[in-house]
Structure 1
Amino acid sequence: MSTSVTTTRTDRFLAQIERVGNKLPEPFALFLILFGLVALVSSVMAWAGVTVQMPDSDEVRQINGLFTAEGLTWLTENLGANYIGFPPLVTVLPILLAVGVAEKSGLLSGVIRAVFGSAPRWALPYAVGVVGVAGNVMSDTAFVVIPPLAAMVFRAAGRHPVAGLLGGFAAAGAGYSTNFLVTSIDALFAGITDGVVGILSDPGAPVTPVSNWWYNIVSALFLAAVAGFLIDKVLEPRLVRQGVSVDRLDDGAHEGGDELTADSTPRERRALVVALIALAVTAAALAAAVLVPGSPWRNEDGGYLPSSPLLDSIVFLVFTLFIVPGIAYGVVVRTITTFEDVPKMFGQALQDMLGFLVVAFILGQFIALFTWTEVGSWIAVAGASFLESINMTGYGAILGFLVLASVLNLFIISGSSLWTIMAAVFVPMFALIGYEPAFTQAAFRVGDSATQIITPLNPYMVVLLAYLRRWEPEAGLGSVMARLLPFTVCFWLVWAAILTVFFVLDLPIGPGNGIFLEG
C-alpha cells in the first residue's frame, strides 16, 4: 500500500474524529446537560420509590430526586456550598499559586534550559523525554514552551529540529498525567476522587495528592526513556527519510511574540544555584520538623501511614517547596524586585486558571447532585453486580476501563472534566468489587494522557502545527498525528504494563495507598 493512500485514509479517519468531537458541547454546557439528566433521572427514580441495598451491609438507601420539595430546597440552600466545597478547589488553588510564582519568575523555564544545555548530543532525546514528561508541573504551558525549546537545542546540536519539536510535544502530552513531583494535577484528581467516595461505606485509605506518587515516579522514569528512544530511533530517522528540511524558515518567537532562547545567561545560572540552595534549606527544615520524635505531624502511633497530619499537610509542603525557590530565583534575575511582585504573580496564575474556575462551578454542582441523589450509589451497585455476574471482577475490568478512558479522551481532552464523569461511576463501582479509589485513579491516568496527542480536538495541536510549518510548510494535522501515533501506542502499552506489574505484585501506589481494599 502506498504512503499517499495510507496518509489519505489517516486524514479521513482523523477528519471523522474531528467532526464527531466538534459536535460535543463545551465542558460547561456538557456538565449542565449532565446535571439536568441526573436531576430528571433521580426524580423519576424517587417517585418510583427506588432504593439501593448496599453490599455487605444492612443499609438501604433511598434515591433522592431533585425535582421534589426536598430536592429543590437542597439545591437552593447549597448552591454556593456545592461550588466552594468542590474538593479540587481546596487543593489545586494553593498549589497553583506557588507554581505560578515558580513559572512567572522564570524558574521553571530556567530549569528546562539547564537540563537541555547540560545534555550531550546523544542524550538530547532522553533529556527531551524527561523534561516533557515532567513538564506538566507548568500545566498547559508545557505544550507551548517545551517543543520550540527542544527544537532549538536539537538544531544547535546538529540534530533534526523537528524531532525535538514533535518529541517534546509527544512527551509532554502523552505523559501529561504523571510526574516525578507532586503537582496541581495530582491535587485536582485527588480532590475529584475524594468528592465521590462519600457514598461508600468502606472508602479505603484517604486519597491525597501523593496517593499515586510511587506509581507516578516509576511511570515517569519509564515513559521518559520510551519517549527518548522513540525520538532517537523512530521519529528522527523517519524525518530524515522523508527529507524534511532541517533549516529554520524563520527565527521568530514562540506563541505570544516573546523571544524564546535555548541558552541560559550567567545571571540565570547563578539564580538556579541560589534557588537550589533555597530548596535544599527549606526541605531540610521541613524534614527536621516532621522527623523528630514526638513531631506533631506524626499520627497517634508515631508513624505517618496510612494517615497522619503530615499527609494532610501535603498541599502546604508542595506550596512551600515551589514558592521558596521560585522567589529566590526571581530575586536574583530581578523578575521579583518588590514584595508586590509576588501577589501579582498569584493573580496571573489565577488568570491562567480562570476557565477552570468557571467550569468548576458546574462541576461542583454535578458532583454534589450525583452524591446527594444516591444515583451514584445505584449505578455503582448495579455496575458491580453486573461485572460479578459475568465474572469480570479481575484485571480485565481494569483494562476495559483503560480502553474506555483512552477512547473518551479523544473527545473530552480536559482531564478534570473526563475524570469527574468517570470517577462518579467507576470509583464506587470498582470499590464495591475490591479496588481502592486511589488505584482506580491511577489507572485513569493512562487513558487520560496517551491518546490526547493524536486528537485534533487538542487545542495545542494548532500551536504545534504552526511551529512545524516553519520547517515543513505543507504539513497538516494528518502529518502530525501520523508521526505522534507511535508515542501514543508505546506509551499506552508501557504504562498499562507498569500498572499490571503493580497489580500483580500488589505494590503500594503511593504513601498509604495500595491496590485492594482491606477486609
Structure 2
Amino acid sequence: MSSAPVDTVERSVIDRVLGGIERIGNKIPEPFTLFVLLLVVTAIATTVMAWLGVSVQVPGSDEVTQIRGFFTGEGLTWFTANLGANFIGFPPLAVVLPIIFGVGLAEKTGLLAAMIRWAFGSAPRWALPYAVALVGVLGSIMSDAAFVVIPPLAALVFKAAGRHPVAGLLGGFAAAGAGYSTTMLVTSLDALFAGITTAVAATLPDPGTPVTPISNYFFNVASSVVLTVAAGFLIDKVLEPRIDRAGISRDQVVEEEDEHAQSSAMSAVLEPQEKRGVRWALVAGLAVAVLFMAAALVPASPWRNETSSFLPRSPLLDSIVFIVFALFSVIGIVYGRVVGTIRTWQDVPNIMGEALRDMLSFVVLAFILGQFIALFNWSGIGSWIAVSGANGLEAIGLTGFPAILGFILLASVLNLFIISGSSMWTLMGAVFVPMFALLGYEPAFVQGAFRVGDSATQILTPMNPYMIVLLTMLRRYEPEAGLGTVIARMLPFTLVFWVLWVGVLAVFYGFDLPMGPGNDIFINE
C-alpha cells in the first residue's frame, strides 16, 4: 500500500534531475557551432600565450617549443594557406568514407536488416533476451540506424514468442546504446576514432604504435562477449519481470490497420528470397576472407613486413580499410543481386551515393574538426596542456589505473551533454592522448578507455535524439510514460555496463594484454 508514494517520490526526483540535465544540455551548442567557438577560444588563447612567451619542453625531447599565436602574421598566413589542407588532411576522412561506401552497400540493399531479423527469428524463446543483447551490442555496425531498427524488431519478436514486447523494445535500445562503441566487427566508428587518434599522436616525440581501425579489436571482442551476457541477463531477470509487475499492456495503443502495416513491414521472418540472399552473401563473404588469408599467409606475401610477420605494423594492417570495404561491398552486392535491390550495375554507385548522403553531416563537421585539430597541433598548445596536465597528475599522485578511471568518469559525464562520439573524442583526444603518452600509455589504450565512457551513459541523457524516438515507441504500449520512465529502466544497464566494461579494461591493464594486433598498453614495451 505504501509503494505508490515511494514511486511518486522516485519519479519526482528523476524528473528534477532530468530537468536539470536537459536545461544544462540545451545551453550547449550543436557540434559544429561548439567547435567554431572552441576554435575561436583556442585562437585567442594561443595568441595571448605567444605574446607572453610561453614555451613547453616535452619530456624526452631536447627541443623547447614556443607557443605560436593564431592572431599573428605567422598564424593568419598559416591558416589562410592551409584551410583546405586542414580539412582534406583530417585523417578520419580517408578511413571513414571508404568504409561507409562498403557498409552502405550492405545496409541499403537490406542485408544488415535481414541478418538482424534472421538472428531474432531463429532464436528460441528462452534465448531471445540474449539474441537481442547480441544484436544490440553489435548494432553499431549500422551506425545510428541501430537505434531505430533494433528496438521495434526486438519488440515484435518478443511479442510473437509470448514475452513482453516492451522488454524487447527497451532491451534492444539499451544494448544498442550502452554498448554502442564495441563490436566484434570492424566498423566505420573504429576507423573514425583511429583517424582522430592518429592525427593527435603524430605530433608526439614518441607517438607509440600506429593506431589503425583494429587497434582496439581484442578489447572490443572481449567487451562484446561480456556486455552481451550482461545485457541478456538484465533483460531476462530485471527488465521484463519489472515490466510484468507494473502491469503494462502487451498490446500497442494504435489503430488496427497501422499495427498491421507495421507488423508486415517489420516481420522477423525472412522471405525465401531473402534467405537465399543471406546464404549467398555469407558464401561470398567467406570466399573473400579465404582469398585475403591465402594472399597474406603465403611465405613470400607482399603484405608481410620486413621481418616476414604482421606485427607491429605491416602492409596487411595498413590495408584494413580496403579489406573492410571489399568485404562489405561484395556481400552487399551479392545480396542485392539475389533479392533484386540491385538490378543493374548503375544501382551500385547510386546506393553508395545514398550512403554518402547519410554522412554529409559528418563531412561538414569534419571541416571544422580538421581546423581545430590542425590549430591545436600547429600552435603547440596541445603539447603545453599535455605536459601541464601530466605534471599535475603526478603532483597529486594520480597515476596508473586511477588516472585512467578518472578519465573514463570524465568522458561518462561529458557524454551526457555531448552525444557525438567523434566530437567528444576530438576534444578529449587532443588533450588526453598526449597527456597519457607522457605517462607511458599507448594512444590505442587511451582510445579504448574513452570508448567505455563514451557509450555507457548515452542512454540516460535527453540530449540523445533517439531517446525521443524510443519514448514515442514506448507510449504505444504505455501512454503515460515519460523520459523519467525511460531513464529509470535504462539505469541498470548503464551501471552494470559501466562497471563490467571498466572491469574488462582493468583485466587488460592488470595482465598487460594487447588491446589489438600489435597495440600494447604501454609505450616501448
Aligned pairs (5 A) from 1:243-322: 243-250=247-254, 252=258, 259-322=265-328
CA distance in 1, matches of 2:247, 2:6: 17
Q: Cα RMSD over matched residues?
A: 1.4
Taking the aligned partners of 1:57 and 1:91, their CA distance within structure 2 comes to 31
Match of 1:204 in 2: 208
The offset of 1:256, in angstroms, is 11
Alignment of 1:64-463 (within 5 A): 64-250=68-254, 252=258, 259-463=265-469
Task: Read off the aligned partner of 2:67 and give its amino acid letter.
Answer: I
CA contact (8 A) 1:148 1:254 kept: no
CA–CA distance in structure 1, aligned partners of residues 262 and 391 of structure 2: 53
Distance in structure 1 (CA, Å) of the matches to 2:29 and 2:49 = 27
Q: Distance in 2 between matches of 1:419 and 1:365?
A: 15
Alpha-carbon contact 1:436-1:515 (below 8 Å) kept: yes
C-alpha displacement of 1:100: 0.5
CA contact (8 A) 2:131 2:232 kept: yes
Amino acid at match of 1:60: V
AA partner of residue 518 (structure 1): N
8 Å CA contact retained: 2:147, 2:177: yes
CA distance in 2, matches of 1:232, 1:258: 26
Partner of residue 506, structure 2: 500
- Cα distance between partner residues in 2 of 1:269 and 1:244: 35
Give the Cα separation in 1 of the matches to 2:433 and 2:260.
40
Specify the SS of the correspondent of 2:449.
helix
Per-residue deviation, residues 157-184 of structure 1 (Å, max 9, x unmatched): 0000000000000000000000000000
The separation in 2 between residues aligned to 1:258 and 1:11, in whole angstroms, is 37
CA distance in 2, matches of 1:393, 1:317: 38
| Matched letter for residue 153 of structure 1 | V
**Is 1:518 equivalent to 2:524 in the alignment?**
yes
Classify the secondary structure of the residue corresponding to 2:432.
Answer: helix
Give distance in 1, aligned partners of 2:28 and 2:100: 29
- Could you report, residue by residue, the CA deviation over 1:41-74 in whole angstroms, capped at 9, with x for unpaired residues? 1011111111111112211111111111110010
**Aligned pairs, number:** 519
Helix, strand or coil: the match of 1:2? helix
- Quote the Cα distance in structure 2 between the aligned partners of 1:53 and 1:135: 44
Q: Write the letter of the residue equivalent to 2:421.
A: G
Give, in whole Å, the separation in 2 of the partners of 1:230 and 1:217: 20
**Does structure 1 conserve the Cα–Cα contact (< 8 Å) formed by 2:152 and 2:169?**
yes
Rounded to whole Å, the distance in 2 between the matches of 1:434 and 1:276 is 42
Secondary structure (helix, strand or coil) at the match of 1:261 reads coil
In 1, Cα distance between equivalents of 2:52 and 2:326: 52
Q: Give the alignment partner of residue 479 of structure 1, picking from 475, 481, 485.
A: 485
C-alpha contact (below 8 Å) 2:156/2:263 kept by paired residues: no
Q: Which residue matches 1:467?
A: 473
Residues 38, 49 of structure 1: alpha-carbon distance in 2 compared, 3 angstrom cutoff: same
Separation in structure 2 between the aligned mates of residue 387 and residue 306 of structure 1, nearest angstrom: 30
Residue 33 of structure 1 deviates from its aligned partner by 0.5
In structure 2, give the amino acid aligned to 1:327: I
Residue number in structure 2 paired with 1:47: 51
Per-residue deviation at 1:199? 2.1
Could you list the runs of 5+ residues in structure 2 that have no partner in the other structure?
none
Identity of aligned residues (%): 65
What's the TM-score once normalised by structure 1's chain length? Answer: 0.98
Displacement of 1:257: 12
3-state SS in 2 of match to 1:61: strand
CA offsets, 1:242-282, max 9 Å, x none?
01111122364799999222211111111111001000111
Check the 8 A contact 2:60/2:205 in 1, yes or no. Answer: no
1:363 CA displacement: 0.4
Whether the aligned pair in 1 keeps the contact of 2:416 and 2:457 (CA below 8 Å) is yes
The superposition leaves residues 323-366 of structure 1 with CA deviations (integer Å, 9 ceiling, x where unpaired) of 10111111111000010111111111111111111111100000
Residue deviations 1:112-141 (CA, integer Å, cap 9, x gap): 011111110000000000000000100000
Contact 1:133 1:223 in 2 (8 A): yes
Contact 1:204 1:517 in 2 (8 A): yes
Using the alignment, how far apart are the partners of 1:145 and 1:292 within structure 2?
42
Q: CA-to-partner distance for each residue in 1:194-226, whole Å, 9 max, x for gaps?
A: 111122111110000000000000001110111
Q: Which moved more, 1:20-29 or 1:253-262?
A: 253-262
1:448-490 per-residue CA deviation (whole Å, 9 max, x = no partner) reads 0000001001000111011111111111111011001000000
1:389, distance to aligned residue in structure 2 (A):
1.3
Tell me the CA shift for residue 185 of structure 1: 0.3
TM-score (norm 2): 0.97
How far apart, in 1, do the equivalents of 2:16 and 2:393 lie? 36
String of CA shifts for 1:414-473, please: whole Å, max 9, x gaps. Answer: 000000000000000000001000000000001100000010010001110111111111
1:27, 1:359 within 8 Å by CA — same for their partners in 2?
A: yes
Local SS of the residue matching 2:184: coil
Counterpart code for 1:336 = I
Between the aligned partners of 2:317 and 2:77, the Cα distance in structure 1 is 36
The aligned amino acid for 1:240 is D
**Partners of 2:422 and 2:260 in 1: CA distance:** 27
